[in-house]
Amino acid sequence: MNVKQKTIKAPVSVSGTGLHTGQSVTMTFNPAPENHGYKFRRVDIEGSPVIDADCDNVTDTSRGTTITQNGASVSTIEHVLAALVGLEVDNVLIDMDGPETPIMDGSSIQFVDAIKDMGLVEQEADREYYHIPYNIHYSEPDRKVEMVAMPLDDYRFTCMVDYNSQVLGSQHASISTISEFNKEIASCRTFCFLHELEMLLKHDLIKGGDLNNAIVVVDKEVDEEELAHLAKIFNRKDIKVAPQGILNNIELRHQNEPARHKLLDMIGDLALVGVPLRGHIMAARPGHAANVAFAKKIKTLIKKERSRKHIKIYDPNAKPVYDTVQIMNILPHRQPMLMIDKILELTKSHVVGLKNVTMNEEIFRGHFPGTPLFPGVLQIEAMAQTGGILVLNTVPDPENYITLFLKIENARFKAPVVPGDTIIFHCNLLAPIRRGIAQMKGIGMVGERVVVEAELMAQIVKRTKTEEA
């Protein structure tokens, strides 16, 4: 059974303070169309620039995840994205009137509650998952970071953290399916060590910090004077160290809440892959930088697989649209300059041609006979002849016309072509033909590998009597 995409029923807003900037911000979740994904919009900036939630847009991971696009940035996005993934929302446009999402209580739960209260609506399009095809590994040996994504027909997470701390020690957290996120993970708050808190305060880096939105782990000896100083900074009457080794400002919601929050961060950061995933993600000592690097690795694999899916496999034994004799009835070329053996596909806007490269061709007598390579200039010629069939197919009595190529741009040769190769040329019109002028984009492929590409411009010209003779 196919799962449908979902968006939010109507706009809903939450307001709060950015953890690092200290700025008040209102964030509004808006319904979005199918296949829109997650996008942020900075409504406080002229032109309201939009920023795609994409790992390729990440510009900082030092104190949370920041994305930048179109001259605008949004920071600390991971808790918001985790809420959307946990609720299995596919499409949403998030308006913000500031540069940083509100920290709220340091978890995702208030975002989850706001969206759940508003409700979700199914859309017509099916949700398209990316199923992890095999074990994908990522590691940072110097930081002892290990990550692996494994095949699974669900979305499962296992996370281990180890901070070499007597208070935290080693902690594990896991969910067996993403539907457990709301109950087990969403309410788990961010945490920091006391020495990190002091450093951040010293450098004025947590202007929106409050002891209500973070678990502070006491990882050093601390005296009453220091506790009194912290109480004064955070407008507290009294601060003590709780038996669990944390400041007594809050109580833990789970014994392993720090590990659960790391899992929350990982879910949010991996949303930057851009598609819902199916697999089991296991991570040891994850962090924002590693999460984003892992997301980029998965996205690269997705792009490679999608490009392969667009490659059509042609049966060489199938009846062609035009064979060699029929091609010669349209094109004026003859051996040794006839470069196309078959036309495999032909529409009003694109054509697919085939060229068999053999050692019997005259060119190899003089072109690197000891190391035969099919010349790049002849690859372009073969592409142009393929495109010529497309262009001449748009006029009546094509045998009465020829194509003159006016321009070749952005030609690139990406791999050598040798005898025994079969090149498949794809030419597509870039715009409708006007006044006999055609613009095309062509690529040549050997198997799944692109060997040549170029943009071509040609003009349709009526044959003269000399050419007809």
Catalogue the active-site residues. 288, 367
DSSP class of residue 354 equals E
In 3D, which of 26, 17, 21 has the Cα closest to residue 207?
Answer: 21
What number of residues does the chain have? 469
The Cα 250–Cα 212 span in angstroms is: 7
Asked whether 321 and 345 are in contact (CB, 8 A), the reply is yes
Strand partners, 12: 29
To 5 degrees, how large is the angle CA 413–CA 417–CA 421? 140
DSSP string, 358-392: -TTSGGGGTS-TTS----HHHHHHHHHHHHHHHHH
**439 CA to centre of own chain:** 30
Asked whether 198 and 213 are in contact (CB, 8 A), the reply is no
User: How many Cβ atoms sit within 10 Å of the Cβ of residue 143?
Assistant: 11
Asked whether 409 and 384 are in contact (CB, 8 A), the reply is no
SS (H, E, C) 290-301: HHHHHHHHHHHH
Coil, strand or helix: which one is 148? strand
To 5 degrees, how large is the angle CA 107–CA 110–CA 115? 125
For 137, what's the count of Cα atoms within 13 Å in the CB-facing half-sphere? 4
In 3D, which of 36, 112, 23, 125 has the Cα closest to residue 76?
Answer: 23
User: How many Cβ atoms sit within 10 Å of the Cβ of residue 114?
Assistant: 18
The Cα 209–Cα 198 span in angstroms is: 12
Which two structure tokens, joined as six digits, stand for 393? 């197919």
Which two structure tokens, joined as six digits, stand for 183? 């109950």
Asked whether 26 and 14 are in contact (CB, 8 A), the reply is yes
**365 CA to centre of own chain:** 47
In 3D, which of 129, 122, 105, 102 has the Cα closest to residue 29?
Answer: 102
**263 CA to centre of own chain:** 21
